[in-house]
């Protein structure tokens, strides 16, 4: 099995979040997929199972476990399909959380994929005090008016807003304690944010359950965030905003989020093939 390697959500100047892609995993079982994801060492690898020419089942594995949904690996897989087999156009991916339509088009910086999440949801973040203690955040570190909440766009993510960009830049938490809390609560990542403006949000996503301290780009969390901001009426007039993630890791990533209309949230970005070493 020769997996493809792509980096998703790069900025025009580089960066991005690496993902593995297997275009036809029909012969693989879960143990083999987990083993391959561990060998690659990326936060997620996408495994595709062809159904029709433009319909696929998709599964995602981190080095530690299967993940029900992953945005950056979805973008990587859709661009890989377009480059290697299908060309630009629409593809329908059936994940563990439901159907994920993806549109791939030729853009200014190469192929650009736009995924649409399942219908988003929000819930109260009952574990906020415990989460803050685990992260080493005090009440003074939290933004006083933005909603600290749970948000869903395929996975549940706690959403915490930092009072300052400087606070967001400091990420030093108890890895095992946060991992245990996330497993107990069923969270996908922990989304830590600073709102520069309604149209520009800086993001960091802790991902210890995936075996890494931080994920450079998290499309699932960006989609969930879009649903939360739509529900809270905190969006620009056109319903669109940009998420900058991975900046503090020297892996800058650019995610464009469109919450206009109803139903799923659209998350867009490019992906580029990583040359073989």
Q: How would you label 24-41 residue by residue, b for 16+ Cβ within 10 Å and e otherwise?
A: ebeebeeeebbebbeebe
SS3 134: helix
Q: Specify the pLDDT at position 107.
A: 82
The reported pTM is 0.94
C-alpha closest to that of 225 among 196, 193, 247, 269: 193
Q: Under a CB-based contact definition with an 8 Å cutoff, are residues 16 and 43 in contact?
A: no
* Domains parsed from the chain with CATH numbers: 4-116 (3.10.310.10), 121-269 (3.10.310.10)
Q: Specify the pLDDT at position 277.
A: 64
The residues that are catalytic are: 44
To 5 degrees, how large is the angle CA 141–CA 159–CA 41? 105
d(CA 115, CA 269): 9
Q: Under a CB-based contact definition with an 8 Å cutoff, are residues 6 and 80 in contact?
A: yes
Other C-beta atoms closer than 10 Å to the C-beta of 81 total 25
Where do we find the tokens 């991005």?
Answer: 16
**232-240: which pairs have CB atoms within 8 A and are 24 or more residues apart?**
232/147, 234/146, 234/147, 234/198, 235/198, 235/259, 236/198, 236/199, 240/199
**How does pLDDT run along the chain (277 residues), one tens digit per residue?**
689 999 999 999 889 999 999 999 999 999 999 999 999 999 899 999 999 889 999 999 998 889 999 999 999 999 999 999 999 999 999 999 999 999 999 988 889 999 999 999 999 999 999 999 999 999 999 999 999 999 999 999 999 999 999 999 999 999 999 999 999 999 999 999 999 999 999 999 999 988 889 999 999 999 999 999 999 999 999 999 999 999 999 999 999 999 998 899 999 999 999 987 6
Q: Specify the pLDDT at position 110.
A: 86
């Amino acid at each position: 099995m020769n997996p493809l390697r792509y980096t998703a959500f790069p900025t025009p100047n580089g960066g991005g979040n690496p993902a593995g892609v297997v275009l036809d995993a029909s012969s693989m079982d879960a143990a083999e997929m987990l083993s391959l994801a561990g060998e690659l060492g990326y936060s997620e690898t996408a495994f595709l199972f062809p159904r029709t020419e433009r319909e696929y089942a998709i599964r995602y594995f981190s080095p530690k476990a299967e993940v029900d949904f992953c945005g950056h690996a979805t973008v990587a897989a859709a661009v890989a399909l377009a480059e290697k087999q299908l060309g630009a156009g629409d593809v329908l991916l059936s994940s563990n959380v439901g159907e994920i339509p993806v549109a791939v088009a030729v853009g200014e910086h190469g192929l650009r994929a736009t995924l649409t999440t399942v219908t988003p949801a929000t819930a109260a973040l009952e574990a906020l005090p415990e989460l803050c203690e685990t992260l080493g955040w005090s009440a003074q570190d939290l933004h006083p008016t933005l909603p600290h909440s749970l948000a869903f766009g395929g996975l549940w993510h706690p959403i915490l807003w930092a009072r300052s960009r400087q606070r967001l830049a400091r990420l030093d938490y108890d890895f095992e304690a946060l991992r245990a809390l996330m497993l107990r609560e069923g969270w996908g990542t922990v989304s830590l944010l600073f709102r520069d403006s309604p149209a520009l949000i800086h993001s960091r996503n802790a991902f210890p359950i995936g075996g890494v301290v931080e994920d450079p780009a998290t499309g699932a969390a960006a989609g969930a965030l879009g649903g939360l901001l739509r529900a809270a009426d905190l969006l620009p007039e056109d319903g669109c905003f940009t998420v900058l993630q991975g900046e503090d890791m020297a892996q800058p990533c650019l995610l464009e989020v469109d919450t206009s209309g109803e139903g799923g949230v659209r998350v867009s970005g490019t992906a580029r093939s990583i040359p073989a070493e």
